[in-house]
Amino acid sequence: MPSTSATQSFPASFHAQDISTNGTTLHVRSGGAGPADLVRDHLVIVPDLRGLGLSSKPAGGFDKKNQAADLAGVLAALGVEQFDLVAHDIGNMVAFQFAAQQPERVRRLALIDAPLPGVGPWEDILKSPMLWHFRFGGPDMERLVAGRERIYLDRFWNEFSANPARFDEAARNHYAELYALPGAMRAGFAQFAAFDQDADDNRAWLASGARLRMPVLAAGGEKSFGSTMAVMARAAADDVREGIVPDSGHWVMEENPQATIALVRGFIAGN
């Protein structure tokens, strides 16, 4: 499932607020000072995507092109014009659409361990049996997992990790509680149900001859998407830096946070 922002991991100095944007309300945490990058010496802005975490759970609008407009509203409310954009999982797809629509605002784009619908080897990626949940749907899907959110989510945390023990119990309980909120699983499934539309939107953008010109970090977990991230990114971007998070599966910040942070900080610093 797409990840949300874990409350217990945020410094006390972070400020939380709900921002109305594009017909929904996003829960946003921010902290630090300076350009919008990393917290030690920068302003960091962390929104829960539409329908996820503590953001509202609207009935629709989960295509990633529309969610890029959600992000634009958050940035307008916070008075941010240009920024470095760091994304993981479903966030990659929203970040890609934002960079495609408003490239002049994105100084650098980091895409971490998740594919982009319709871009590069997307059709081959869809064939992986590990990604069965991309097509999990139908009228009974919410009823099947109601009250069993932790069981459902544990499968992803366990199967997509190089070492499942690194995704600790506190984080598992935190996310399971968020996904047990009213409408949360429906919204989570809606993120995946929108992939066909997302693929159409991305293909249309590529067919127009457009390319991403800003520097792009394409980082994959060593035991997950790995170097496939760079193959995918090069199908849409001109300046791609490949990164591998060693000894990690998909959940890079839980499995190897030090290596992930070093990759991102080095990239944003221009190294």
Domain extents for the chain? Answer: 7-268
Instruction: List all residues 6 or more positions away from 79 whose beta carbon is below 8 Å from its beta carbon.
Output: none
| Alpha carbon distance 100, 204 (integer Å) | 11
Judge whether residue 4 has pLDDT over 60: no
- Looking from the CA of 262 toward its CB, the CA atoms found within 13 Å total 8
The sheet with strand 44-47 has its strands ordered as 15-21, 24-31, 44-47
Give the pLDDT score at 120: 98
Q: Is the separation of the CB atoms in 112 and 234 below 8 Å? A: no
pLDDT at 9 over 90: no
More confident residue, 7 or 193: 193
> How is residue 182 written in tokens?
């009213």
Which has the closest alpha carbon to 218: 231, 205, 201, 203?
231
Q: Which fold has domain 7-268?
A: Rossmann fold (3.40.50)
* 216: enclosing H helix or E strand: strand 216-221
- Give me the chain's average pLDDT, please: 94
Confidence of residue 12 (pLDDT cuts 50, 70, 90): confident
Whether the CB-CB separation of 32 and 43 falls below 8 Å is answered with: yes
